[in-house]
A = this chain, B = another copy of it.
Amino acid sequence: MQVLHKEDFIQNISYDSVIFGFNGKQLKILVLEYHNTGLFALPGGFVRKDESLDEAVKKGVKERTGLDHIYLEQFQTFGNLTRSDPSVMKRILEENNLDLDVHDWLLDRFISISYYALINYDKVTPVPDALSDSISWYAIDELPALMMDHNQIVNRALQVLRNNLEKKLVGMNLLPSKFTMKQLQKVYEVVLGEELRRTTFQRRILGMNMLERHEKLFQGTAHKAPYLYSFKLEQD
């Protein structure tokens, strides 16, 4: 088990990440389960004294997903005194046979900077961190109880994601590079949590002039084949 040396990290600072993926039907996020504790948590970590905040988070998300060049956005910093719970942290350290003296700094109070990531579900190979049994996808509306304020962090991430749906091209990061109009509509629907009207959606999206049309996709289904689209790199 690797040791987290106090002198390498900024004290009282951590980050948490809400990593969104889309399996074609549901919006999901990655959740860790700690060894022998029944405790669920968001992937997170600490910031080294000699690295920038963004670097630290990018590195951490890459370790959990295997993916580089990910869409990452910082959305809120949580700094309550009550959010940290030393007894929970102590239990996690004990169950992992970590030296409590060396890691006492982890029992302290933490201010956590939260990020969300959007990733292509099919390209991810989730890897648990050193303290965890597993890392798995959970549908956003079927989450287990998470430790500390992590459920609150997820809710906030969702709010911000909804808000950014139009201007930040959320779909671009959750879909493969070529996709049908129906797939894109489904992304909008699961993020917004409501159904959208097909014709209006199609007209609106095409009207934005952000999509490029490609060849048709023959799915082997008994109906008209849809076009494939990709996002234009240059907006005109």
Q: Please list the residues of chain A having a beta carbon within 8 angstroms of any beta carbon in chain B.
A: 10-13, 47, 49-54, 74, 76-81, 109, 111, 113
Knowing A74-B77, A79-B47, say if A53 contacts B111 (CB, 8 Å). Answer: yes
> Contacts A74-B76, A74-B77, A77-B74: A13 and B52 contacting too (C-beta < 8 A)?
no
**Copies of the chain in the assembly:** 2
A79 with B111, Cβ < 8 A, contacts A10-B11, A11-B10 known: no
Residue of B nearest to A57 (CB): B79
Bound state CA distance, A74 and B156, in angstroms? 13
| Cβ distance A31 to chain B, nearest Cβ, rounded Å | 24
Known contacts A12-B13, A13-B12, A76-B74: does B111 contact A81 (CB below 8 Å)? no
| Residue picked from A47, A49, A52, A78, most chain B C-beta under 10 Å | A52
Q: How far is the CB of A56 from chain B (nearest CB, A)?
A: 8
Given A13-B111, A51-B81, A52-B81, 19 other A-B residues pairs in contact with their CB atoms under 8 A: A10-B12, A10-B111, A11-B11, A11-B12, A12-B13, A13-B13, A47-B79, A47-B111, A52-B79, A52-B80, A53-B78, A53-B79, A53-B80, A54-B79, A54-B80, A74-B77, A77-B77, A79-B113, A111-B113
Known contacts A11-B10, A12-B11, A13-B12; A81 and B113 CB within 8 A of each other: no
Contacts of A54 in B (CB 8 A): 79-80
Q: How far is the CB of A76 from chain B (nearest CB, A)?
A: 7
Give complex CA distance A54, B111 in Å. Answer: 11
Chain B residue with Cβ nearest A54: B79
* Contacts A/B (CB < 8 Å), 21 sampled: A10-B11, A10-B12, A10-B111, A11-B11, A11-B12, A12-B13, A12-B49, A13-B13, A13-B111, A47-B79, A49-B109, A50-B81, A51-B81, A52-B79, A52-B81, A53-B77, A53-B78, A54-B80, A77-B77, A77-B113, A79-B113
Q: In whole Å, how far is A170's beta carbon from the nearest beta carbon of chain B?
A: 16
CB-CB nearest in chain B for A167: B163
| B residues in contact with A13, CB < 8 Å | 12-13, 111
Chain B residues with CB under 8 A of A50: 81
Query: Which partner residue on chain B sits nearest A80 by CB separation?
Result: B52
Closest 5 CB pairs of A and B: A53-B79, A77-B77, A10-B12, A52-B80, A52-B81
